[in-house]
Amino acid sequence: MRSEQEMMDLILGTARADERIRAVLLVGSRANPAVPKDVYQDYDITYFVSDMQPFYNNPAWVVEKFGEPLIMQMPQAMRYPDPGVHFNYMMIYPDGNRLDLTFDVDFARNVEGGEPAVVLLDKDNGHGMVTPLPPPSDAKWHIQPPSPLFYYSCCNNFWWCLNNVAKGIARDELAYVMHMLNEVVRAELHCMLDWTIGIRYDFRISAGKDGKYYRKLLPPELYAQYAATYSGSAPAEIWAAVDTMCDLFHTLATAVAAHFGFTYRQHEEDGMRTYLAMVKENRLLT
């Protein structure tokens, strides 16, 4: 696998050799000082160009400069074509490196969200499209404490939507069950996990996209319980995961409520647990 230095030499060497490329921006995990480095990180690169036309939907140019990838994706040329303001080539190479290369003419649009970003090259020395950037930080993604309404809504939606999971199990509707459990209900569990982590770290930390740092940030016993909320496809396995998810949510939600002085609405949990037991035990059929 080519090293980071070799990849950067290729990226910057290509830019320096082409006068149409005026600046180079690094974003993503490699620009984020809070993210540990590893061999799986992408190179998220934007070339800012004086004219988009030569680089728009022109994979031959990219292959000539960077080599033939194992696979390439061009989002703006797929199902919903982009009007032409930028173009992205996403590539994985035979050595395992992934390069996400975007061509753009608007520097401000790429940095206005406050995500970590580093200017690697500016041929115009601040007199062109590039503007000064603050030091890269992941503060944009730090967990935020909940308002009372958001906390109560999270709890209510978690317990309410479990009725759909139960009915789906009873009807043997696996795809529906997994959607409701792992996208709808789990989203509320993730909010509660995030707030739990936020409390532990004074809300100065990110749990990563989709909670990818949960294993590192949660106490081992909580993470083990969280891992057990993922199930196989058999009804008994799904019910076991649901029971574990309910117990974990209760533990987290009551602790978060105590920290913020919120009231945990135990009657909502009790009501849904009663309904879940009715469905699980087939009491609605008698």
Stretch 136-155: mean pLDDT = 95
Predicted confidence at residue 81, as pLDDT, reads 75
Q: Which residues sit opposite 65 in a β-bridge?
A: none
- From 163, 162, 156, 160, select the one nearest 284 (Cα to Cα): 163
As a whole number of angstroms, the distance between CA 69 and CA 53 comes to 23
159 shares a domain with 279: yes
Residue 285 pLDDT > 80, yes or no? no
Amino acid at 3: S
Q: Give the model's pLDDT for residue 137.
A: 86
The residue-averaged pLDDT of 12-19 equals: 98
Backbone φ and ψ of 73, nearest 5°: -125, 140
Do residue 118 and residue 149 come from a single domain?
no
> What mean pLDDT do residues 204-231 have?
96
Q: Work out the average pLDDT over 198-211.
A: 96
Residue type present at position 160: W
Same domain? 18 vs 133: yes
Give the domain extent around 12. Answer: 4-137
State the DSSP string of 216-245. Answer: HHS-HHHHHHHHTT---SSHHHHHHHHHHH
Whether 198 and 143 have beta carbons less than 8 Å apart is answered as yes
Q: Are residues 212 and 241 in the same domain?
A: yes
* Same domain (yes/no): 167, 281: yes
Same domain, yes or no: 108 and 205: no
How far apart are the C-alpha atoms of 247 and 242, rounded to whole Å?
9
Q: What is the pLDDT of residues 225-237, one digit of tens each?
A: 999 999 999 999 9
Is the pLDDT reported for residue 138 higher than 90? no
78 shares its domain with 198: no
Q: Which of 137, 164, 182 finishes a domain?
A: 137
| Radius of gyration of the chain, Cα coordinates, nearest whole angstrom | 24
183 and 62 fall within a common domain? no
Query: In the predicted model, is pLDDT for residue 286 greater than 70?
Result: no
Tokens 């037991």 sit on residue: 277
- Work out how many domains the chain is built from and give that number: 2
For residue 216, give the amino acid letter. Answer: K
- Residues 193, 261, single domain; the answer is yes
State the pTM of this model.
0.86
Among residues 137, 171, 188, the one where a domain terminates is 137
Q: Is pLDDT of 274 > 70? A: yes
Q: Last residue of a domain, which of 137, 162, 180?
A: 137
pLDDT in tens, 157-194: 999 999 999 999 999 999 999 999 999 999 999 999 99
Query: Does residue 281 contact residue 273 with C-beta atoms inside 8 Å?
Result: no
Pick the most confident of 33-42, 100-109, 124-133, 236-245: 236-245
